[in-house]
Structure 1
């Protein structure tokens, strides 16, 4: 088994339901369990734990129980590779992850080489499946070319004649989403007054805000994550800018509002149709809420990834790679997201993206 373990890359793992009597089929979820995007890691972890618990309570998979391993990649590409190798060495059959596209893309090469099925609940960069290293790589979320098309057209339709700035954090996710949004905004006849990059993890964006203020920016599209988007918004308001902030699915966490407070009122973002509203998901949503967990963002996407894999294993009658990949590639799976099918690239053939608005500390569909 080839190792690409990198010196200095921190690893963090824990095993759920790890008693010897339950050590039957080992699966994993991988994401940012620590670091500035840990709220999304918590979403993946919550979805995976509940899916494993529910599947085991219903008799497991092929008469065996699932054991869940948690891998912390901190949304760092090098750490993601190290985590992938560590999970492979433990003998996992399947990984529901990762979250950040910048982690999923390099990690997928390890999983493909090791013959491990990977289904990302949240990585939206088109390269993840367009350039996938093997047919065992899938995702249950949409793509940034779909998301960018919705966002770009929305900017052109709803903010015609407004001065728009498009920002990106230079990450695989943020830059990719910003580029797709700009492409479709330009195709619809719009032209941004500013195209600027910023560095994720910084605390002071006042120079960027001053540049936007000087340019008279009225709408700010942010290709990046909620932590920086929230800080940029707050610092805009501190400088007297009342520009509308528009962003993508990385704002689907209550932590965004915790950062912005009332300043976040009216923030717009693209995300897939809310799976919490699916009738099929109602019993699971209720179960989460009984435990004090709001299944926001990518919680149910992680749950669905594990559902699809487990059903594919049952259809194949084995956990062996090739029969399960064949079942995933050809099957129709009933999940908390609704009926789910994968296309020839490993993408889902499901509804794409809609616009949401933050109001009173919650996000819901935008009503024009």
Structure 2
């Protein structure tokens, strides 16, 4: 089984295994920690599938390509993997990268089960070739807006970098808040320094600051600057995109990284399958697994079930999305057509707003659930 990035031409072509191509950010500027968790979930599921007899009597093989958060690199990887004869594509964490990969997979007629990206417009037009496990951004971020309003926040500052993903999130938040008397103030981090953010928050009388920026830069310096400003002792810092989920956040920020609510896609309680997988992922990662690791596991679990039931023909795989019914680590997975979403969508994915407990930053508190 090949579960590490490999050079072109190194994979076997004798048809002895069923191959899944995996797109994962493993080098910067990709979010490497997220990529490591995603890959751990994918790899563990492949191991479990093979321990149970594989697919159609053949071992499942993961052919991994590093996207490094680069849409062009991801597109080239899709072309290469399609040429290598993979039965389907899996993975990707970054929404903008996943959108490029999904568009190319659609053009090539290659089934793609996206693990973690949330951007609503994953493809330009509705497609039969692409399905997704993570909730669409419009759903998850509306739940986050509900949390903000329920906590009494009506004037929200967003420190944002230029990106389709961040712009989409800002638009969702603005629409949700405006409908209920709230206001979103945009702070352009292409022109502001982390230290200048504090002055802007005070000037606009915001009660919450949301980090719509990359991790660790400039998210970590912004948090440090705001936490050290006595004028902002009561400000709530939030990170809907999930930056505090990973251990590096706590390592870099310590106590300053606690009490920063973010979106996490886990149920309140894991099923027995989820608990077993979570323990195995913890051993593999040598730390608590993030929701991204569970997404990786569920991706392979779904694809293995589809391949067992419908064979390795790509068109049959794409036609099977509406018939999927798989017990995943976070609930029963089924795909449907959701209004406004161009791909097959798992509409039942769990959504939580959580933070790191100030009394124990290694522990998460569930603040709100959708």
Pick the TM interval, shorter chain.
0.7 to 0.9
Distance in 2 between residues matched to 1:231 and 1:297, nearest whole Å: 25
Which has the higher mean CA deviation after the structures are superposed, 334-343 or 320-329? 320-329
**SS of alignment partner, residue 277 of structure 1:** coil
Pairs within 5 Å for 1:14-25: 14=6, 23-25=16-18
Structure 1 stretches of 4+ with a deviation exceeding 6 A read 17-22
Distance in 2 between residues matched to 1:168 and 1:203, nearest whole Å: 10
Going from structure 1 to structure 2, the CA distance change for 1:275 and 1:94 (only over 3 Å counts) comes to farther
- Residue 303 of structure 1 is matched in structure 2 by 297
Distance in 1 between residues matched to 2:219 and 2:272, nearest whole Å: 32
How far the C-alpha of 1:104 sits from its partner, in A, is 0.8
- Residue 197 of structure 2 is matched in structure 1 by 208
- Residue 229 of structure 1 is matched in structure 2 by 219
**SS of alignment partner, residue 346 of structure 2:** coil
**Pair 1:197-2:188 in alignment:** yes
**SS of alignment partner, residue 56 of structure 2:** coil
- Residue 57 of structure 2 is matched in structure 1 by 63
Query: Cα deviation per residue 1:208-228 (whole Å; 9 max; x = unaligned)?
Result: 333223434331022344423
**SS of alignment partner, residue 355 of structure 2:** strand
- Residue 340 of structure 2 is matched in structure 1 by none
- Residue 170 of structure 2 is matched in structure 1 by 178
- Residue 159 of structure 2 is matched in structure 1 by 167
- In 2, are the aligned partners of 1:146 and 1:352 still within 8 Å (CA)? no
- Residue 98 of structure 1 is matched in structure 2 by 92
Going from structure 1 to structure 2, the CA distance change for 1:98 and 1:321 (only over 3 Å counts) comes to same
**SS of alignment partner, residue 303 of structure 1:** helix
How far the C-alpha of 1:43 sits from its partner, in A, is 1.2
Going from structure 1 to structure 2, the CA distance change for 1:111 and 1:266 (only over 3 Å counts) comes to same
- Residue 144 of structure 2 is matched in structure 1 by 151
**Pair 1:284-2:306 in alignment:** no
**Pair 1:248-2:235 in alignment:** no
**SS of alignment partner, residue 58 of structure 2:** coil
**SS of alignment partner, residue 362 of structure 1:** strand
- Residue 5 of structure 2 is matched in structure 1 by 13
Distance in 2 between residues matched to 1:65 and 1:159, nearest whole Å: 53
How far the C-alpha of 1:302 sits from its partner, in A, is 1.0
Going from structure 1 to structure 2, the CA distance change for 1:203 and 1:43 (only over 3 Å counts) comes to farther
Pairwise CA RMSD of aligned residues? 2.6
- In 1, are the aligned partners of 2:246 and 2:290 still within 8 Å (CA)? yes
How far the C-alpha of 1:248 sits from its partner, in A, is 1.5
**Pair 1:122-2:116 in alignment:** yes
Pairs within 5 Å for 1:322-341: 322-341=315-334
How far the C-alpha of 1:366 sits from its partner, in A, is 1.7
Distance in 2 between residues matched to 1:18 and 1:66, nearest whole Å: 13
Query: Cα deviation per residue 1:86-143 (whole Å; 9 max; x = unaligned)?
Result: 22232222221221111011111221222221111111011015x3563110110101
- Residue 9 of structure 1 is matched in structure 2 by none
- Residue 361 of structure 1 is matched in structure 2 by 362
How far the C-alpha of 1:331 sits from its partner, in A, is 2.2
Distance in 2 between residues matched to 1:92 and 1:19, nearest whole Å: 11
Distance in 2 between residues matched to 1:266 and 1:111, nearest whole Å: 40
Greater relative contact order (Cα < 8 A, sep 6+): 2
Task: Give the TM-score of the pair, scaled to structure 2.
Answer: 0.86
- Residue 187 of structure 1 is matched in structure 2 by 179
Query: Cα deviation per residue 1:261-302 (whole Å; 9 max; x = unaligned)?
Result: 110121111222348723331221122233325321310111
Where do 5+ consecutive residues of structure 2 fail to align? 338-342
- In 2, are the aligned partners of 1:147 and 1:271 still within 8 Å (CA)? no
